[in-house]
Amino acid sequence: MEELANAAPEQQTDKVKIVITRRRGGRGDRVFRFLCYVFTIFSVIVGLFPLYWLLVSSTKDALTASANPPIMTPVLPTKWSVGLDTGGVADYTQDDFEYESAVLLWMTCDRNIPVSALSYSTLWVEDGAVRGRATLTVAKYQSQYAKDLFVGRVTQRVMTGWRDSGSDKYGRLLSHISFAYYGTAQALPAASADEKAAQINQFYSDAQGFSGDFQSFETFSLRAHVGSVVGEKSFWGLFDVYSRAWNSVGTFQHSILHYALNSLVVATVAALLKILVAGGAGYALSKLIKKRWKNAYTMFLIIPLLIPGVIEQVPLYTLFLRMGLKNTFTAIWLPGLADSFTPILFRGFFDALPKDLREAGKVDGATEFGIYFKLILPLSVPVFVYIAISAFVGSWDNFMWPFMILGADSKLTLPLIIHRSMAMVSGARKDYAVTMAISVLTMLPLLPLFLINQKFVSRGLVFSGIKG
C-alpha cells in the first residue's frame, strides 16, 4: 500500500485495477459464481419440468401415459393394419368384409392389447393384393364405447345378433369405421417383424381359439384368414389425444366451449371485483385515513392472513348452503372480496406516488372521485394490471372451492372438468393423456394474456412509479 501511495497517478490507477482484478478472480469468487450459475440452471429446469411433462404426456396414448417407469420423451403412435386373406374362401362379399372388419376391429380395441395404437385397420387381401381397407381409430372406439353403443363387453355374438335382426346399432357400428375400396388392387405392405407386431399376431391367434386360455365370449371366428400385421408410425398422431380429449368432454351435458365460457365469466368478474374493492381500500389506507389510524387498520387486515384459508371453507360452505347460493357463481366471487393482502399491496404503491399530486388536484377543484380516477389511476396502471391478471389466473385455476360449491354440470369450470376427466375410463384403463390434453387446452388462453401484458406485470411486481 505504501508503494501504491508513492507511485505516480497513472501507475496508481493501473495498480488499483490489478488489485481489483485479482480480488475478483479469486478462487472463492469463482466457486461462488459457479454455484450461482448452477442454482440458476437448476431453478430453470425444475420450474419448466412440470410444463415439459404436461406437454409430453398430452401427446401420448392411454398405454404410454400410464407406463411404469414413465416415458420421458414423446412416442410416435402407430397405425396398425392386419390382413384378412380371402384366398380359398368362396363367395366372399363386401358385406362379409364389413362384418368381419367390425368384429375384428371393435374386439381388438375392447381387449386392451398392451400395444400403443393410434388406429387399427383391416386389409381385404385377395390373391396377394389389397382390394379394400377398414379403419377404426382408438378415439372413435373410446368415444362411442363411452356413449354405450355396447352395454358390457364387445362380443361377436352381440354384433351378429344386431346384423341378423337388422338393428340400427349394427348400422351405427359400421358408421364409425372408415371403409375404402380400390378399383385397382393395391400392393400388400410388408409385414412388421418387431415385438409389438408379434404381440398382436399372438392375440389374434389366441382369440381365434387356436391357443391360449381365452374364455368363449372373448374369441371370434372369421371366414377370412387373419394374416400379416403391419405397423406405420404417424407424426400427426401425436395430436390425436386432443381429439380424444374433445370427445371425452363431449360425454358431459355440454361442450368444452361451455365450460371455458364458465371459467371466463368467473375469472373476469373476480378480477374486476378485486381491483375495484381492493383498489379503493388501498387508496383509503394510503390517502384518506388519518396517519394515526393507518397502522391499526393495516393490522386488522394482516390478522386474517394468519388464518389458514382451508379452515374457513367449511363454515363458508354451510353459510352459502343456507343462503341458497350453492351452484351459483356468486358463491365463488364473494369469498374473493375478503382479501386482506391486496389492499396492503395497493397501499404500498399509492404511498410511493407524489404527495403533492393529490393536493394539486384539490387546488384545481377536483373531487376525491376525480383525483382517484383521473390522477391516481392513470399512474397506477402497472399495479392494477398485475393485480387483475393475478386475480384472473387465480380464479381460472381455482379448484378446491368451486369443487365444493359447484355441483351442477352447467356450472362447472375447466379445472373441475380436468378432475372429472380423470374418472373417464378407456376400456379397463384410465386415459391420463386425455387429462393432460385438457390441461394444456385450459392453459392456452393464459399465455397471450401474459405475453400482451408482460410489461405491466413486470412493472407492477417492482412497484415502479413516481417517487415522492
Same domain, 395 and 346: yes
Same domain, 32 and 114: no
Instruction: Report whether 350 contacts 372 (CB < 8 A).
Output: no
Same domain, 200 and 311: no
CA–CA distance, 440 with 3 (Å, rounded to integer): 67
Same domain, 258 and 406: yes
CA–CA distance, 368 with 376 (Å, rounded to integer): 10
Same domain, 281 and 411: yes
Same domain, 215 and 99: yes
Same domain, 265 and 373: yes
CA dihedral 376, 377, 379, 385 (to 10 degrees): 150
CA–CA distance, 382 with 455 (Å, rounded to integer): 8
Same domain, 285 and 378: yes
Please give the average per-residue pLDDT across 394-403, as a whole number: 91
pLDDT score recorded for residue 376: 86
The partner residues of 187 in beta bridges, in order of sequence, read 129
Percentage of the chain exceeding pLDDT 90 = 21
Quick: pLDDT tens for 352-367.
888 788 888 888 888 8
| Sign of the dihedral defined by the CA atoms of residues 118, 124, 130, 132, in that order | negative
Same domain, 286 and 167: no
- Give the pLDDT band of residue 468 (cuts 50, 70, 90): very low
Flag whether 455 is in a domain: yes
CA dihedral 169, 170, 176, 182 (to 10 degrees): -160
Flag whether 443 is in a domain: yes
CA–CA distance, 202 with 194 (Å, rounded to integer): 13
Instruction: Report whether 313 contacts 404 (CB < 8 A).
Output: yes
Same domain, 224 and 253: no
Average pLDDT, whole number, for the chain?
81
- Give the pLDDT band of residue 250 (cuts 50, 70, 90): low
Task: Name the DSSP class of 176.
Answer: T
Q: What is the pTM of this model?
A: 0.77
Predicted confidence (pLDDT) at residue 176 exceeds the cutoff of 60: yes
Count structural domains, the chain: 3
- Give the pLDDT band of residue 45 (cuts 50, 70, 90): very high
Same domain, 209 and 282: no
Instruction: Report whether 201 contacts 229 (CB < 8 A).
Output: yes
Flag whether 302 is in a domain: yes
- Give the pLDDT band of residue 461 (cuts 50, 70, 90): low
For residue 58, give the 3-state DSSP assignment.
coil
In terms of pLDDT, which residue wins out, 66 or 457?
Answer: 66
For residue 335, give the 3-state DSSP assignment.
helix
The partner residues of 233 in beta bridges, in order of sequence, read 78
Quick: pLDDT tens for 202-241.
888 777 765 444 555 567 788 888 888 888 888 888 888 8
- Give the pLDDT band of residue 148 (cuts 50, 70, 90): low
Flag whether 285 is in a domain: yes
Any idea what the Cα angle at residue 58 is, between residues 52 and 63, rounded to 5°?
A: 115
Same domain, 49 and 91: no
pLDDT score recorded for residue 465: 42
Buried b (16+ CB within 10 A) or exposed e, 4-14: eeeeeeeeeee
Q: Which residues 6+ apart lie within 8 Å of 83 measured at CB?
A: 122, 123, 125, 130, 188, 226, 227, 228, 229, 230
- Residue 366: give the domain boundaries: 249-461
pLDDT score recorded for residue 266: 95
Instruction: Report whether 162 contacts 132 (CB < 8 A).
Output: no
pLDDT score recorded for residue 297: 82
pLDDT score recorded for residue 255: 80
